[in-house]
Amino acid sequence: MAEELNAVIVSIEYRLVPKVYFPEQIHDVVRATKYFLKPEVLQKYMVDPGRICISGDSAGGNLAAALGQQFTQDASLKNKLKLQALIYPVLQALDFNTPSYQQNVNTPILPRYVMVKYWVDYFKGNYDFVQAMIVNNHTSLDVEEAAAVRARLNWTSLLPASFTKNYKPVVQTTGNARIVQELPQLLDARSAPLIADQAVLQLLPKTYILTCEHDVLRDDGIMYAKRLESAGVEVTLDHFEDGFHGCMIFTSWPTNFSVGIRTRNSYIKWLDQNL
């Protein structure tokens, strides 16, 4: 990226679980980004302040999306971003039965139960909740707290038919209200950028989202692209039919996969054309 884009690349070493838990990771990336955007720091690294992009993959895509939304709500940071680029991002923990979660329930690298456990880890929650969350008991119809955001996750309207196929929504009538009560972070847009208000989304910059067919998170990215487009944001959705979660890191021998190289090149090409 640095060579092909002639860009300065800053990788933020945000603190990880179990050293810290949500929302400390958000605070880390906001703090580091604010520091880097100081005029004297940009000047030191010879960075054009009009050509700033935030980006991340997987959990980093979650933090980049959250960071972008934080920028829209901070007067000192507003309009500072030219682009955001999200690579198979994690964007919500309220529906673990989207078509891509159902289709890829046991797909290697990131099967569904592992993703649910990662969310529980992030919130310093109880593993006893995992099985209930897998079947959406945490957002059942009797969980009033979840009612307000349910429409923002309605994949039957947000996903094209080519992705919904014959999958059916999993909506429990009665569930476990204690989960959301003990883990209110589930309903916080800083952890789940997909559920942010439209007023926040419409202030976001031009966006690139890369999704992979063989990935539980595929629909998170596609739904976010749809919500951003509906809010008037210019979005490029770059979907790879043969992609899998994490594939972009497989670009060097002995795991130099074709799809790893193609996703990386496509991502860098978009940045080159738009940054």
- Write the pLDDT tens digit of every residue in 241-270: 999 999 999 999 999 999 999 999 999 999
Domain contains 161? yes
What is the band of 210 on the pLDDT scale with cuts at 50, 70, 90?
Answer: very high
Q: Do both 102 and 187 map to the same domain?
A: yes
pLDDT in the model for residue 177: 94
Q: What is the mean pLDDT of residues 137-149?
A: 94
In whole numbers, what is the pLDDT of the chain averaged over residues? 96
46, two tokens? 């010879």
Domain contains 226? no
pLDDT in the model for residue 76: 79
Q: Do both 117 and 180 map to the same domain?
A: yes
Q: Do both 107 and 57 map to the same domain?
A: no
User: Number of helices and strands (H, E) in the chain?
Assistant: 14, 4
Residue 46 pLDDT greater than 80, yes or no: yes
Domain contains 152? yes
Q: Do both 59 and 112 map to the same domain?
A: no
Q: Do both 63 and 100 map to the same domain?
A: no
Q: Do both 156 and 192 map to the same domain?
A: yes
Domain boundary among 196, 224, 250: 196
Q: Do both 100 and 52 map to the same domain?
A: no
Range of the domain at 135: 92-196
Q: How far is CA 120 from the centre of its chain?
A: 16
pLDDT in the model for residue 74: 87
pLDDT in the model for residue 82: 96
Q: What is the mean pLDDT of residues 29-55?
A: 96
Instruction: Determine what percent of the chain is predicted with pLDDT higher than 90.
Output: 95
Q: Do both 188 and 96 map to the same domain?
A: yes
Q: Do both 103 and 179 map to the same domain?
A: yes
Domain contains 12? yes
Q: Domain tally for the chain?
A: 3
pLDDT tens sequence across 66-92: 999 999 988 877 778 999 999 999 999
CB 271 within 8 A of CB 255: no
Q: How far is CA 46 from the centre of its chain?
A: 29
Domain contains 224? no
Residue 175 pLDDT greater than 90, yes or no: yes
Domain boundary among 162, 196, 230: 196
Domain contains 128? yes
Q: How far apart are the first and last CA of the chain?
A: 12
- Residue 46 region, left (φ>0) first, then alpha (ψ -120 to 50), else beta? left
Burial tier of 194 (Cβ tally within 10 Å: 0-12, 13-18, 19+) = buried
Out of 55, 58, 100, 191, pick the active-site residue.
58
Q: Do both 114 and 188 map to the same domain?
A: yes
Domain boundary among 138, 172, 196: 196
Q: Is 230 a catalytic residue?
A: no
From CA 29, how far away is CA 11, in angstroms rounded? 10
Domain contains 58? yes
Q: Do both 109 and 183 map to the same domain?
A: yes
Q: Do both 112 and 191 map to the same domain?
A: yes
pLDDT in the model for residue 75: 84
Domain contains 130? yes
pLDDT in the model for residue 79: 78
Report which of 263, 267, 269 is spatially closest to residue 85, judged by C-alpha positions: 267
Give the containing element (helix H, strand E) for 62. helix 59-72
pTM value surpassing 0.95 = yes
pLDDT in the model for residue 57: 98
